[in-house]
Amino acid sequence: MGYDPPLSGVTVLDLSSGPMTAVGRLLADLGAGVTPVALSGVTEPVAERAPLATAINRHGMTPAAVDPADWRRLLAEADILIENTAPGSVAERMLSVKTIRADHPALVILSISDFGRDNRFRGWQATTPVLHALTSELSRSGIPGRAPLVPPGSQLPYQVAAAQAAVLTMSVLLDRLRTGTGDLIDFAVLDGAMQTLDPPFGTAGTASGGVALNAQRRDWNAEQLRYPIIPCKDGHIRICLLAKRQWHGMLTWMGRPEEFTDPSFDSLRVRLGSPALLAAIGRFCADRTRTELEAEGQRHGVPTAAVLTLPEALRTEQVSQRGLFREVDLGAGRRAPVPIGIVEIDGHRASALTASAFVAQRPSGAPILGARPRRDEGLPLEGLRVLDLGVIVVGADTGRLLGDLGADVVKIENSAFPDGLRGSLTSVSHTYAAGHRNKRSIGIDLRGAEGRALAHRLVEMSDVVLTNFKPGVAAALGMDHATLATINPGIVVVDSSAFGPTGPWAARMGYGPLVRAAAGVTDLWVYPGAKDTFCDTVTVYPDHVAARIGALSAMAVLVRRERTGTGGAVSVAQSEVMLSHLAAEIAGEVPAEPTVSWGLFPAAGEDAWIAVTARDASDESALRTVIGDEDLAAWTARHTPVAAMELLQAAGVPAGAVFHAADLPDWEYYVARRAFREELHPHGAEPFILENVQVHAERIADPPLRQAPLLGEQTREIARDLLGLTDTEIDELIARGVLETAGH
């Protein structure tokens, strides 16, 4: 049998417009039948020449203009409805999603707006710079003393938010299959952008040393030492020297210069605090080409990536062999290369362009998940069990997201190879607490046959396995899909990697900053006219959004499992997720000429800025009603960022204070949306502020309060309750090192 798209048979009605049409694109590429709908009085007629980004999101879809009678019929036959009418508008009243919800209780409704529909900010306006500002991401981008730097990608906050929206929608659909009841999701683009691009209270990379992003400010010089970008003969390279073994590889590669052989340089803190070391590496690289340095670095175990331009990245053998792009007719005489799917399912690129003509019957039940016991805590993934072997950020976030939505997530780990995000086996950092809440931990040594046998017994009673090891490691540990499918044919295995499982770069180590360099993003993240001002150092992008793509795809395959009985393999390449976010730019989109009142402007206070983005003449006129004839920069300089934002947004002008991360929990919007919560972790040094609500919906509760575990903290509980071992058997396995508990 050929490739069976996981969402085949799922029907989606899409009333959305603008950048959030990216949600429908994600669902269509996973096999759903997505119909863009023009509904009289609610949406505009389908334009013959849509904006390029929208055309990319809509390719392969057949739009439909419907009258009220057709609309009622379509609603009765649909599984998912997506809409983004403006809050308070005539269109919102005419559509009346609450009436639709009452009339069609099985329908999953994704109601999208910039700021949600349940608070006083519902009428505020967003743009890409405004979203970057209000998520706090912008405060970490750029060089101190200069205006913050808006990251590349004209619709990046919307695209990452779309991944979050798709995850939440899929979790409700999966639950609908077993309960018969859908839900109405009040999704705010700002929430999705904050949680999914570079979350200030989420997990951060190993270079942060466990320090959460909310405790970091722009420090461009210090950041250059974490993932240094080094000038070389024909451009720049970026290297990673976080691990001790990586440093030893660099030391050997450089010929072991005496001034750096002191054992103190084994300490990451010492290396990061040594400008002399960075200068020496610079001298070492100066007369070598990017290609030479990449090859030599990889040979010495030093993760190394050339800083490529976007055109160079697209011409690499890796991108070519992987077949991410295809020339597509975008209508109105436009043809352009577009991504044809950013995830692989069962070895096939999941795309509407690669699907067969076969369409499955509409999913109507859940014979597998429907038989699972539920805790009745109001969470859509209750009864689902996930084995989490993931590490660092993308590994942490994928499992945490599923745990927040109700799955029983069991983290399998071992003290010989602990998750690099831990930092300590006896305490829990803020960033670890953020990434591993709502998980249980069992310590198992997978290197031996006994440990693998225990893990395989857990696989027998699980639904999903998450991995993001270096290539070949999962297979060596017996935790790859080929092995696990023989144990449990219904298992879904998600693998996340830097560049994908095939191609000449498949074996490359994939730290986010190196992937950004190789994908052309780092080269774009510079101040205009200043090509060496690389400013993508603090951000954790694309780990968090890649995690969403993995979680979304896993749930989609679980939907398929309900009709086929078998699971599948999911593979996500982080570099391809990033390139998909630049699809419009790659296709040749020409940015609109900004108005005079578009940019970052200084405000009253230290390192205080505001994004003001008048989109057109109407916005310019509204802005003038607020500031009169005064120069905009002079006006903003007299106001605090929040005061200026309030005045401008009240007039309908998109504006956003450039918040620092620590500002977010107390801002009225995030308080109203219950975005954050505080916890006192028994193994943490101080109270942690963590993300809270994932889904604003009628039937879904806030995430559970289970705290991130120490390594092996629930080993006895899991071994007893799931594996059926006696206390004596558990003690014996612990004594021989097959199992581990916290502190042993």
Active site (catalytic) residues:
543
**Going by C-beta distance under 8 Å and a sequence separation of 6 or more, which residues neighbour residue 43?**
15, 17, 37, 85, 91
Query: Are residues 474 and 390 in contact, defined by beta-carbon separation less than 8 angstroms?
Result: no
Distances (CA, A) of 313 to 321, 544, 576, 735: 13, 22, 11, 51
Q: How many helices (H) and strands (E) does the chain have?
A: 31, 25
Neighbours of 103 (CB within 10 A): 12
Distances (CA, A) of 333 to 52, 85, 329, 562: 12, 29, 7, 41
Distance CA 6, CA 352 (A): 12
Distance CA 90, CA 205 (A): 45
Hey, what are 561's tokens? 């499992």
- How many CA atoms within 13 Å lie on the side-chain side of 126? 29
Distance CA 194, CA 201 (A): 9
User: Residue 678 burial by CB count (10 A; 0-12/13-18/19+): exposed, middle or buried?
Assistant: exposed
Distances (CA, A) of 578 to 58, 339, 398, 520, 582: 19, 11, 17, 9, 7
Kindly report whether the peptide bond that precedes residue 542 is cis, defined as omega within 30 degrees of 0. yes
The b/e string for 496-512 (b: 16+ C-beta within 10 A; e otherwise) is bbbbbbbbebbebbbbb
Hey, what are 528's tokens? 């205009």
Amino acid at 540: V
